[in-house]
Chain A
Amino acid sequence: MKIRSKLTITFFLLVVVILSLATLSIYFFFADYRESDYFRRLKNRTMNTATLIIEGQLESAELITRFENTNPGHIPPQYIFVFSPELKPIYATKDYPPEIGDPSDLLQRIQEEKEVRVTEGKYQIIGFRFFGKGEQYLVVGAASDTFGQEGLENLEKILLAVFAVSLVFVSIGGWFYAGRFLSPISKVITDVEKITESNLDVRIDHGSGNDEIAKLARTFNNMLGRLEDSFLAQKNFISNASHELRTPIAIISAEIEAALLQTEEGDQNYEVLNSVLENTKSLSHLSTQLLLLAQTSAQNPEQKFPVIRIDDVIWDAKHELEKANPDYTITVDFDLAMDDEAFQVRGDAQLLKVAVINLMDNACKYSDDCQVVVRLAVSSGSFLCVEFVNTGTGIHEEDHEKVFAPFYRGKSSSHTKGYGIGLSLARRIMKLHQGTIGLQSASGSHTTFALFFPTNRIWV
């Protein structure tokens, strides 16, 4: 998840929690206040009415109750029950609603607790001891707070509406401000994304600020500086190592060749010199391949290559390899649909020749008959495909990915000369050309390596 969404959601949740706590406490405090206030007023009324009843002015009491019942703004003791000291009912409002229950159930509790407050449904019921005419009566009053309940419901609606509207504003505002605070980071990201191996000298604009983002940009710039240095150092190392390695090998091999001229065939030294020369050659080959491997990794994969003809590269490679290994047979075959434009790829002819020679050489080395068939075809989509097919021991399924790792040598290669660099070098070279390399093999019968080059043409 993006930081912007994370920030917005966290902020939103925080506000939800605070706002709900505030809303709920407002609601409950208000509800509590309403209830106790109503009980207080209910008790007053009940006491007044009870006084009238006990003093025998029953008619006035009923009159007041009747008047009051028509006035919803006042507290009427809608229902009143008076019990004598012997707990005998002496007065009860007629037709009281069943929610209130039997008031005489409360008498026991009133005796014990002095005053009892109960809420049944919408009715609030209060019972207490009342002293009149020198005796103790028990009085129960019940009423529903229509006005207060309506106010409470109204408050509930207002709170819910305010809650919902605030959340909408909070999420929009959160999203907006998170974006605004993060936009300098996005800018840094876009700037950094534009930097590749080829323009390591570019630096990110960190503005004049001193905040974390300016610090981040400066940190990136410092890192870019170090990267640039190490890239340069690596490049220099490759060319220096190249020179330092090649010169002594050149001297050794030239001296041996010169010495061989003065040695007769059959001479004891002749064999030794020849074997040293052979090994020097493979040392020279190894150093060349290793340096190429290092070079191709240091090269910028986005560089633009000139348009070349891949068939030229293949003929060159075939010629060179057959000259060095007269027992190799390299057969070239083209798809009949190929024309000069189909052969065109963007590439470095030298590097591609190295890749092609490596694949041809491998195919011959690991075949039964020192033969390889090189097949060029346009594959579906926009690819030019170069296949190298041989018949031989094949490659085990489990080795298919490993053969491309540098210095890896499969089970079948233990009897063959080599260092396991050719394929990884070929893969690097193909990567540099935005191409791919693939392998298909049936263990024990044949192997096909295929190079795929992207072309601008779409084949159907």
Chain B
Amino acid sequence: MSTLKVNEVQTTASKRILTTTGGVINVVQQKITAPWFGYGPGSSYVKVTPLTCSIKPTSTSNKILVAYKFFGGSTGNWDRLEYQLYRNGSASSFTGNASGSGGQATGKWFYPGSADIGMSQAMGLVFLDSPSSTSTVTYDIYIRDGNNDGASFSLNRGRGTTGTEQESNCASSVTLMEITA
């Protein structure tokens, strides 16, 4: 294998097309097409198992651009049905600043109103992480019913059934990009 070592690459017109930072040197994606429904997470964060993806950085200084886009709905007492980004099983810093009894999270799971066939709104996040590691890094979405009052959630579908002509089954993804830094 040949290796070319340089600090910068320019076109013949002197246009800079690669520097030592900002380059994308690896992309991995997890596609999730299976529908979930009926799961009540309780008050502690639990992993949304399909929404996981791993990458192995090549340098401790490199960053990971984490991009989630997923669909779903909720039912029951959905008010504190909240999700958070986790790295290697620990909560990331990408969360709101809460006080009092309020929950803090990256986002809230979508509530489709009173209709069982309500739309499945896109949720997600975009976060530039600095894992400072060359070991495999795993990102997950965790979810909880923060006040534990009986909420449940669906993924890739509404909260009705999946077999009627009124239902939509969607597809979700997790994309990780290693960025040189």
Task: Say if A and B assemble together.
Answer: no
